[in-house]
Amino acid sequence: MSDPFRLDGQRALVTGANTGIGQAIAMSLGNAGAEVICAGRSSMDETLEMVPNSLALKLDFADPMAASDVFLEQHVDILVNNAGIIRREDSTDFTEADWDDVMDVNLKAVFFTCQAFARAAFAREGRGRIVNIASLLSFQGGIRVPSYTASKHGVAGLTKLLANEWAAKGINVNALAPGYIETNNTEALRADPDRNNAILERIPAGLWGKASDIGGAAVFLASPAANYIHGTVLNVDGGWLAR
């Protein structure tokens, strides 16, 4: 019996794969046998050195339609929407520009990239997997990140809506909600003893997650092992949301 967690012969596109969680997802998919297209606006050189059978694709998701033609030009079986940005400010001082910038990348681009992927899959009468990257703030409010919180709530809802529409048509749409993960983005938090201790005290597992933890979960949702999983937002958070 073949390994249901292998991705041999599959081609995946991972957005925002230059560092952190996106890079780890690209590595995990590559190690599971997939050919990986690493897409984003930054250099992918470091990721390409780490990921077997990979290539780079320049896309800037500040333009929500950046990937509108990509899937017509390249056969892709697995789409991972990881690219995202954040803006921090008190809600009374938050600007329209900061709202729009975050929503464009984190939600609008996710929808239209999913749309382009599905249209191509339907045209070739093929199957496909979509893994969106949600957040703990798909379920919680947070503070001083109004557009990020709204966008990640939107990603969770959009994941369920698209699953409702496309599950019977051969596309699995699911999402991952990372918890507190050791990446460049969380370095300042981990370096602050008070914040670090407060976070660790809340996590039942008692430790920060590693980017590879998200990569492994992405492989699962992209693999045949998840054939009957649709519309799920899988928390990879050390138990944070269970507390």
48: in domain: yes
Is residue 78 one of the residues assigned to a domain? yes
In a domain, 4, yes or no: no
Instruction: Give the whole-angstrom CA distance, residue 31 versus residue 5.
Output: 11
> What does the pLDDT look like over 175-193, one tens digit per residue?
999 999 999 888 988 999 9
Q: Do the domain assignments include residue 6?
A: no
Task: Report CA Rg, the chain.
Answer: 17
Residue 5 in any domain: the answer is no
192 CB-near residues (< 8 Å, 6+ apart) = none
Query: Which residues have CB under 8 Å from 242's CB, separation 6+?
Result: 204
Q: CB neighbours of 226 closer than 8 A, spacing ≥ 6?
A: 129, 172, 174, 220
Segments of the chain with pLDDT less than 50:
none
**Domain housing 42:** 11-242
| 1 found inside a domain | no
Q: Which of 117, 148, 166, 180 is catalytic?
A: 148
Q: Would you call 228 a catalytic residue per the annotation? A: no
Give the pLDDT of residue 1. Answer: 52
Q: What pTM was estimated for this model as a whole?
A: 0.97
Report the domain count for the chain: 1
- Residue 197 belongs to some domain of the structure: yes
CATH of the domain at 143: 3.40.50.720
Q: Provide the pLDDT for residue 229.
A: 98
CA nearest to 107, candidates 133, 89, 128: 133
